[in-house]
Chains A and B, each alone.
Chain A
Amino acid sequence: MKWDEFFVTGEPLIYMADAAIVLTIIGIVFVLTYFKKWKWLWKEWLTTVDHKKIGIMYIISAVLMLFRGGVDALLMRAQLTVPNNTFLDSQHYNEIFTTHGTIMILFMAMPFIFGIMNIAVPLQIGARDVAFPYLNALSFWTFFFGALLFNISFVIGGSPDAGWTAYMPLAGNELSPGPGQNYYLLGLQISGIGSLISGINFIVTILKMRAPGMTLMRMPMFTWATLITSILVVFAFPVLTVALALMTLDRIFGTHFFTLSGDGVPMHWANLFWIWGHPEVYIAILPAFGVFSEVVSTFARKRLFGYTAMVWSMVAISVLSMLVWVHHFFTMGSGAPVNAFFSVSTMAIAIPTGVKIFNWLFTLYKGRIKFTSAMLWSLAFIPTFVIGGVTGVMLSMAAADYQYHNTYFLVAHFHNTLICGTVFAVFAALHYWYPKMFGVILNEKLGKITFWFFVLGFNVCFLPQYVLGFMGMPRRIYTYPADAGWTELNVISTIGAVMMGIGFIFLCINVVYTYFKGERDLTGDPWDGRTLEWSIPSPAPHYNFAVTPQVKGLDAWWMMKKERKEGKEEEKPEYKPIHMPSNSGRPFIMSIFFFIAGFGLVFEWMPVAIIGLIGVIICMILRSFEYDDGYYVPVEEIKQTEAGRE
């Protein structure tokens, strides 16, 4: 392979990206060296097993990926603004919509959600950490290096271009030669390991580590959402693992699972992909529902309406989510009975979702609503998500879907659910839990500017796309003729996309502003919260709870505050040394070996792949022989930390 095949060449945009990457790396290395921060980076972050720090790293990575995916989106909108545009050629456009979809779902939405789960769940259930802190670090680093592997594709070797769904035979060797599609397969495979481990970790944490008195039906709604999501992760991700592995075998080792030759079945890929893929969108949306439940009940200053119905509707959604995958390809012709079944099961999801929507509305009813930024995101979610839901039911009618299929109507629909559901939720969660992460409150004024730009921009961007869909504009086309009549709506849509971009910039400004001038949260409970994470100082001390809390009902912290107001005498807390797990650099190093193995397989350099795998195995063996019982936080340190709070 020649160097000009190894590096992507011939595109001014790519050269600019190359320069930006090199400058950023030089900048980071310079700053770390100048401020002598290398040791700090290693000791405090790269080797940490603290769920709060891992959560923060997840969120930072997710915001970076949101930037990357957002730039992809803006490039696409720029290309589509006017007819017969030559800003991007068709190949480049194909690569960009593929990476946009893959990154936004797998490297933005998922890690953002895992980050918030990491920060909130152990604090909500009164635990000192997750069940397996070491594996938690491994989850993060495999995600990180999987995402890194996927992301370097656009400067080294070329990006995948078969869509984020990677349908066969398009994604096969004949139609997608070169390393691009391999990046997709290996990047997702490596980060998928992390997702699976996280799923197991949270199930065990939630089932086994709740504070005494917290029965399952006293758990905060976000914890419930995390539990159900984790179960979906554990049963859905192995299907993706297998599907990716089979396609890797097809591409690298010449097997015939999904190929046209050798009697393979390309349809089988579509089935496997969506058997994972549909639960996956609920993996992205259920935690969002959890966030909104917390935020709505906190800022309406009311107990969540219909708690039990909320839990059971999530369970119902998770079961149904496994039974609807064929609605992604009604037009592949599975026959009327099959399509009818999946039509009905898809429509059925609207019922538990509707229950949830009404419960949020009833929670708001007669509440003393505080319009904070977090609350605004939640309020905007309800009507916009309903639009996504209603158009979803329209799409679920198999006969009608033959008209909507692969048009901009579909594009608008899933952005209405994924942006208004997941993205609004992670922004709400960021505002809501920011004080618990960093001890400072995100600026409300900047938060509201972000909100209005983003939400208005969203609607300006995507509502015209429904109409474009009706007018017959197909998705994934890189340009269109002037006489198609789509120009005006495309211009409007691009304006909306730019507004969303401005909203994102304000979010970044807010983070920087808050770092320097943010209002400190000295109470630990800035929102007058209801759940246990607000009972401890902000930012949360590394051991979380000095004394394990006793839970007497739903909204445990709210009840404690009420008892306090009623003048109930508090027991003086008696501190005991707290047992904590030791840091470890091995998850980081092991994930580097995963990266090396993945990179070797992408270019089909088997010696490199084997070296990487041997490194992984050695790391696992070393871990098995390691006996580390962690350490104890002395009582003196706990007293000091807790005293700073009164």
Chain B
Amino acid sequence: MSEIAPKQSNLPLEYSTKQNQLNILGFWIFLGAELALFATLFATYLVLVSRTAGGPGPEELYELKTVLIETFLLLTSSFTCGLAVYEMRRGKQAGMIGWLIVTILLGIGFLYFEIEEFILYAVHEGATMQTSAFLSSFFTLVGTHGLHVTIGIFWILIIILQVLKRGLNADTARKVFISSLYWHFLDVVWIFLFTLVYLTGMVS
């Protein structure tokens, strides 16, 4: 049901209609499902991490420098994404779009370094998905996150176009807010990737 309830003035724009509230709650639950999805991929990685089939293991493979750059880019993008929502709450459309563009650019930067990292492993060191169970799970786990970031970039881009066309209203505000939830979620997943995959891999 998409009941368009009267606007309640004390609520932020993205929560101002009944349908918006439903959508936002629905998306939180979807993130719960995403959490289960990534948890399964992490579990798979942890089961398979020591099974290298004679190929390279984590400590020989991981490159701290690129991973650190990726981490800083993505964490910063989460911050700028938060700034965009802050501007949206103040009703500043131009500021919001500006910070969203910065977020996307940082996301693209992250992807650039991640793809470079993958190419380094796969082409230069011959460590592909098909080499060993460890590498299968590594590329799938990190790649699934990267795929999510890619989708997020295009999604936010589409929403920016809609804001430009329609201005800031309850519908577009909801979309910006939900995509920001998604973006922050990817950041949280990355923190686990960084610690559980890269840091643990380089310490052991």
Decide if B76 is an interface residue (CB 8 Å cutoff). no
Identify the closest chain A residue to B134 (Cβ). A263
* Number of interface residues, chain A, beta carbon within 8 A: 52
Query: Hey, what's the 0/1 contact readout for B170-192 against A, CB within 8 Å counting as 1?
Result: 01000100000000000000000
A630 close to B (CB within 8 Å): yes
The minimal Cβ–Cβ distance linking A239 to chain B, given in whole angstroms, is 5
What's the least CB distance linking A325 to chain B, in Å?
Answer: 13
Q: Could you tell me the distance in whole angstroms from the C-beta of B22 to the nearest C-beta in chain A? A: 5
> Are the CB atoms of B136 and A255 closer together than 8 Å?
yes
Say which one of B26-34, B85-93, B95-103 lies at the interface with A: B26-34
Quick one: given A204-B25, A208-B21, A263-B53, are A249 and B129 in contact (CB under 8 Å)?
A: yes
Task: Check A255 against B129 for contact (C-beta < 8 Å).
Answer: yes
In the complex, which residues of chain A have a beta carbon less than 8 angstroms from the beta carbon of B53? Answer: 256, 261-263
Q: Contacts A128-B1, A246-B44 hold; do A239 and B29 have CB atoms under 8 A apart?
A: no
Task: Check A256/B132 contact, CB under 8 A, given A127-B1, A263-B53, A268-B48.
Answer: yes
Chain B interfacial residues counted at CB < 8 A:
40
> CB distance A254 to B130 under 8 Å?
yes
> Which of B25, B34, B155 is close to A238, meaning CB atoms less than 8 Å apart?
B34
CB-CB under 8 A from B130, the residues of chain A are 253-256, 262
Which residue from B1, B30, B52, B131 sits with its C-beta under 8 Å from A581?
B1
Q: Is B33 a contact partner of A196 (Cβ separation < 8 A)?
A: yes
Would A234 and B36 count as touching, CB distance under 8 A?
Answer: yes
Q: Closest approach, in angstroms, between the C-beta of B57 and any C-beta of chain A?
A: 11
For the complex formed, measure the closest distance between the CB of A171 and the CB atoms of chain B, giving whole angstroms. 16
Find out whether the CB atom of B1 lies under 8 angstroms from the CB atom of A131: yes
In contact, B2 and A629 (Cβ under 8 angstroms)? yes
Within 8 Å CB of A268, what residues of B?
Answer: 44, 47-48
**In this complex, which of B33, B34, B140, B166 has the most chain A Cβ atoms within 10 angstroms of its Cβ?**
B33
Does B60 touch A at the CB level, under 8 Å?
Answer: no
Taking CB atoms and an 8 Å cut-off, the chain A residues in 185-239 that contact chain B are: 196, 199-201, 203-204, 207-209, 234-239
Question: Once the chains bind, are B1 and A129 in contact (CB under 8 Å)?
Answer: yes
CA distance A275 to B37 in the complex (A): 12
For the complex, give the distance between the alpha carbons of A131 and B17 in Å: 13
Residues of B with C-beta under 8 A to A253:
129-130
User: Contact: B26 with A262, CB < 8 Å?
Assistant: no
Which residues, 107 to 158 on B, are CB-close (under 8 Å) to A? 129-134, 136-137, 140, 155, 158
Interface residues of B in 1-28 (CB under 8 A from A): 1-4, 21-23, 25-26
Chain B residues with CB under 8 Å of A203's CB are 26, 29
Report B158 CB to chain A, min CB distance, Å. 5
Q: Which residues of A sit under 8 angstroms from B155, Cβ to Cβ? A: 624
In this assembly, does B66 line the interface, its C-beta being within 8 Å of a C-beta of chain A? Answer: no
Complex CA gap A195/B52 in Å reads 36
B29 touches A200 (CB 8 A): yes
| CA distance in complex: A216, B36 (Å) | 26
Residues of A within 8 A of B41 (CB): 242
Q: Are B140 and A249 in contact (CB under 8 A)?
A: yes
Q: A203's closest neighbor in chain B, by CB?
A: B29
Asked if residues B1 and A272 are in contact (CB atoms below 8 Å), the reply is no
Q: Does B162 lie at the interface of the complex (its beta carbon under 8 Å from any beta carbon of A)?
A: yes
Given A265-B51, A579-B3 in contact, is the A132-B133 Cβ separation under 8 Å? Answer: no
A158 to B37, CA, bound (A): 31
Contact between A262 and B47, CB atoms less than 8 A apart: no
Is B26's CB under 8 angstroms from A204's CB? yes
- Residues B29 and A234 in contact, CB atoms below 8 Å apart: yes
Contact between B33 and A132, CB atoms less than 8 A apart? no
Report which of A234, A239, A249, A630 forms a contact with B136, defined as CB distance below 8 A: A249
B40 within 8 A of A: yes
Given contacts A200-B26, A238-B37, A246-B140, A263 and B133 within 8 Å (CB-CB): yes
Contact (Cβ within 8 A) B51 A200:
no
Contact A209 B1 (CB under 8 A): yes
Q: Counting CB contacts under 8 A, is A54 at the interface?
A: no
CA distance A264 to B34 in the complex (A): 25
Q: Which chain B residue lies CB-closest to A275?
A: B40
A157 near B: Cβ within 8 Å?
A: no
With A579-B4, A625-B162 already in contact, the answer to whether A272 and B40 are too (CB < 8 A) is yes
Measured between beta carbons, the chain A residues less than 8 angstroms from B22 are: 131-132, 204, 208-209
B3 touches A208 (CB 8 A): no
What 15 additional pairs, Cβ within 8 angstroms, besides A200-B29, A208-B22, A262-B130? A127-B1, A132-B26, A199-B33, A200-B26, A208-B21, A243-B40, A253-B129, A254-B129, A256-B132, A263-B51, A268-B47, A580-B1, A581-B2, A624-B162, A625-B158
28 chain-A/chain-B pairs, Cβ below 8 angstroms: A132-B23, A200-B26, A203-B26, A203-B29, A204-B25, A204-B26, A204-B29, A208-B22, A208-B25, A209-B1, A234-B33, A238-B37, A239-B37, A242-B41, A243-B40, A249-B140, A262-B53, A262-B133, A263-B48, A263-B51, A263-B134, A264-B51, A272-B40, A272-B44, A275-B40, A624-B159, A625-B158, A629-B4
- Interface, chain A (partner B; CB < 8 A): 127-133, 196, 199-201, 203-204, 207-209, 234-239, 241-243, 245-246, 249-250, 253-257, 259, 261-265, 268, 272, 275, 579-581, 621, 624-625, 627, 629-630
The interface of chain B, by Cβ under 8 A from chain A, is 1-4, 21-23, 25-26, 29-30, 32-34, 36-37, 40-41, 44, 47-48, 51-53, 129-134, 136-137, 140, 155, 158-159, 162, 166, 171, 175
